[in-house]
């Protein structure tokens, strides 16, 4: 297999989205079908959270296992197993910064009185469990 050229890599990377990702859309459809309404990516909140339930002061964050280094939180995560194959000196610190940013935003949200539920991409294999977690989270105090 031939290595990607710089232009090919750039084109591939430019197509990776930070919002409206596949996992996020799956969760949004589920939550909407459950009868809940929410705001998307509120710019006035740290990290522009994925789903914001304003009156409830609750947020659901949908995280990709690879980009948010889920392997650091759950060594059994099957999604986060692959590592960068090139430019490891960039991608290692980049993942560290992603994790630090996520932790900082979570702390700021919680300090602001928000409750946050994080749903990882790998958890979407069991939608019954995800539905149950969302119900418990949104109906609880």
DSSP labels, 68-128: TTGGGT-TT-STT----SS-HHHHHHHHHHHHHHHHHHHHHHHHTT-EEEEEEGGGGG-HH
Structural domains in the chain, CATH included, are 18-139 (3.40.960.10)
What average pLDDT score do residues 85-102 get? Answer: 87
- The SS3 assignment for 35 reads coil
pTM (predicted TM-score): 0.84
Instruction: Kindly report, residue by residue over 40-92, the tens digit of the pLDDT.
Output: 999 999 999 999 999 999 999 999 988 888 888 888 887 666 677 777 888 88
């Amino acid at each position: 297999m031939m290595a990607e050229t710089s232009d090919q890599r750039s084109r591939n990377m430019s197509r990776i989205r930070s919002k409206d990702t596949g996992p996020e859309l799956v969760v949004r459809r589920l939550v909407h079908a459950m009868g809940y309404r929410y705001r998307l990516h509120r710019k006035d909140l740290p990290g522009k959270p994925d789903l914001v339930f304003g009156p409830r002061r609750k947020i659901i964050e949908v995280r990709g296992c690879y980009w948010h280094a889920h392997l650091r939180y759950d060594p059994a995560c099957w999604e986060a197993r692959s590592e960068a194959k090139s430019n490891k000196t960039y991608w290692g610190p980049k993942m560290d910064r992603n994790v630090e940013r996520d932790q900082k935003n979570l702390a700021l949200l919680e300090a602001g009185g928000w409750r946050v539920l994080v749903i990882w991409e790998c958890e979407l294999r069991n939608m019954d469990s995800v539905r149950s977690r969302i119900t418990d989270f949104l109906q609880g105090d």
